[in-house]
Amino acid sequence: MEHIVSSYDDELKFILRRISEMGGQAERMVEQAVSALIRSDWGLAQSVVADDILLDTLQREVDERAVMTIGKRQPMAQDLREIVGAIRISSDLERIGDLGKNIAKRVIAVNDHKQPVQLVRGIEHMSELALEQLKNVLDVYATRDAVRALEIRAHDAEIDALYTSLFRELLTYMMEDPRNITACTHLLFSAKNIERIGDHATNIAETVYYIKTGTQMEAERPKSDSTPSIAAPMPGANG
Amino acid sequence: MEHIVSSYDDELKFILRRISEMGGQAERMVEQAVSALIRSDWGLAQSVVADDILLDTLQREVDERAVMTIGKRQPMAQDLREIVGAIRISSDLERIGDLGKNIAKRVIAVNDHKQPVQLVRGIEHMSELALEQLKNVLDVYATRDAVRALEIRAHDAEIDALYTSLFRELLTYMMEDPRNITACTHLLFSAKNIERIGDHATNIAETVYYIKTGTQMEAERPKSDSTPSIAAPMPGANG
């Protein structure tokens, strides 16, 4: 594959295989990071941190191959969008892995602190939704389904709503007993990381839409992308 | 410019002008967002939020023009790296603007809460460092200075150290009086956003190095990219 003169299709296939590997790897990292957080599994957390280098390597490979393919094949229209889309999607997947790694590092940091069980459950639930979005968007990418891409973006609002309510709960919990502050702050950042994972799944949905239709979804998402402007005493989701 | 057949150099110039606009706009947004945070200036915060669309538009323009240029001109070696680098840098600048917008939204959210003055000063100082990094990295990009690019990456550790110490102070402050929790949580996220701005400046430095030398700086940065693994009772910087 490296040495023979291959067609555009072969090169695209090579890139898509790498992205599919990246998708699987990113899913696994997020799953394991949240599982490590919930079970305070320090060893699992460390292995997630170590795995991140794999995604970095794959992304670099996709980038290099994509640039080479554009230069060599001069693809047009959807063919060109496929390659540009691959660059974008691999960058989102790399970032999802990074967010998984951040959660894993937090497990290591928070090791000594008691976790408030019902809040950890809230994070688990959020991560289930985010992982479902990720799984679905990888399917949508595999099938280039622009209609389902729109649906996935709409679903992101659920994760945001969950984040907002978890944010409030965490703040309340911190106010009730200052000894909870350190652990809750870590959970707050973990929740934020998961909310960002949802955003990257949305980005991927937008890219699939672009590949398929040649047009962008409108720039403004139906959701605020991170920090809603709630001036109430207890503000909600936060960037 | 849009209608005549232009050379690679003309197209590169067009792209670089757009990136230079983006850099100025990103700097302005971050400056104004932090200034709005410090002075609780709700109006300024709203104008920062509204300005974000400009960066999105510029980034889209850079992306489209860059892809077109690669397809049409088939640049090689440093010429190709210039275009690929432009895509990466415009994405970092767009994200910096986004982080500025997030801080501005937080001003709107936190409006009713008393700000602990010395902590706001800490954030101001962090933002000065981050803005200096941003300004320097835009200079380094303009001069394609690979040696200074390395120096800039090294400087990011200062911002991280400041973030770590601010994180501890904020946690202490929250523990002292639960009424501080809401405001401090917003400052915590604002500090985190500024720390991320520093990371994006570092990314840009890495891209300049890549454009100039054709090789990547080593994958692992000297700093942990967000969450250090401190298992101490009061953990430091956090992803």
| pLDDT of B231 | 32
Under an 8 A CB cutoff, do A238 and B74 touch? no
For A35-68, how does the pLDDT look when each residue is reduced to its tens digit (9 = 90+)?
A: 999 888 999 999 999 999 999 999 989 988 988 8
Q: Please state, in angstroms and rounded to a whole number, the distance separating the CA atoms of residues A226 and A159.
A: 11
Give the span between the Cα atoms of B14 and B5, in whole angstroms.
Answer: 13
**Chain B residues in contact with A101 (beta carbon < 8 A):** 227, 239
The answer to whether A182 contacts B234, with C-beta atoms less than 8 Å apart, is yes
Q: Is residue A218 part of a domain?
A: no
Number of domains in chain B: 1
Q: Is residue B222 part of a domain?
A: no
pLDDT tens digit string along A154-181? 999 999 999 999 999 999 989 888 888 8
A70 to chain B, closest Cα gap in Å? 6
* B63:A84 CB<8 A: yes
Q: Which residues in A lie closer than 8 A to residue B230 (C-beta atoms)?
A: 109
The CA distance from B113 to B116, in Å, is: 9
Q: How far apart are the first and last CA of chain B?
A: 44
B236 occurs within a structural domain = no
- If you measure CA to CA, which chain A residue comes closest to B230? A109
Cα-only R_g, chain B = 19
Residue A2 lies in a domain: no
**Rounded mean pLDDT, B93-110:** 91
φ and ψ at B3, to 5 degrees? -105, -25
Rounded to a whole number of angstroms, the distance from the CA of B147 to the nearest CA of chain A is: 23
Quote the minimal CA–CA distance from B38 to chain A in Å. 17
pLDDT value, residue A97: 97
ipTM above 0.85, yes or no: no
Contacts of A220 in chain B (CB under 8 A): 53
* Residues whose CB is less than 8 angstroms from the CB of residue B147 and which lie 6 or more positions away in sequence, other chains included: none
Asked whether the beta carbons of residue B227 and residue A84 sit closer than 8 angstroms, the reply is no
How many angstroms away from the CA of B234 is the closest CA of chain A? 7
Read off the amino acid at residue B200: H
Q: Check CB contact under 8 Å for B185 and A238.
A: yes
Please, what is the average pLDDT of chain A? 85
Distance CA A204, CA A150 (A): 11
Q: Is residue B232 part of a domain?
A: no
User: Is A225 within the bounds of a domain?
Assistant: no
Q: Which of B192, B198, B41 is nearest to B115 (CA)?
A: B41
What is the phi/psi pair of residue A60, to 5°?
A: -60, -40
- Least confident range from A54-68, A94-108, A113-127, B48-62: namely A113-127
* Distance, first Cα to last Cα, chain A: 44
Domain presence at residue B230:
no
| Residue A238 within any structural domain of the chain | no
pLDDT at A223: 44
Helix axes A146-176, A181-213, angle to 10 degrees: 170
Give how far A64 is from chain B: nearest CA, Å: 10
In this structure, what CATH number is given to the domain that contains residue B16?
A: 1.20.58.220
Is A84 close to B71, i.e. CB distance below 8 A?
A: no
Query: Alpha helices, DSSP H only, in chain B?
Result: 8-39, 42-73, 77-110, 117-143, 146-176, 181-213
CB contact under 8 A, A91 and B87: no
Kindly tell me if the per-residue pLDDT of B72 is higher than 90: no
Q: Minimum mean pLDDT among A62-66, A91-95, A150-154, B209-213: which range?
A: A62-66
Which domain, by its residues, includes B13?
A: 8-213
- Rounded Cα distance, A52 and B31, in Å: 33
Residue A220 has pLDDT above 60, yes or no: no
> Are A171 and B182 a contacting pair at CB < 8 A?
yes
Residue B201 has pLDDT above 90, yes or no: yes
Higher per-residue confidence, B111 vs A60? A60
- Which of A41, A82, A181 to probe the B interface (max B CBs under 10 A)? A181
- How does pLDDT run across B13-28, given as a tens digit for each residue? 999 999 999 999 999 9
**Mean pLDDT to the nearest integer, A84-89:** 91
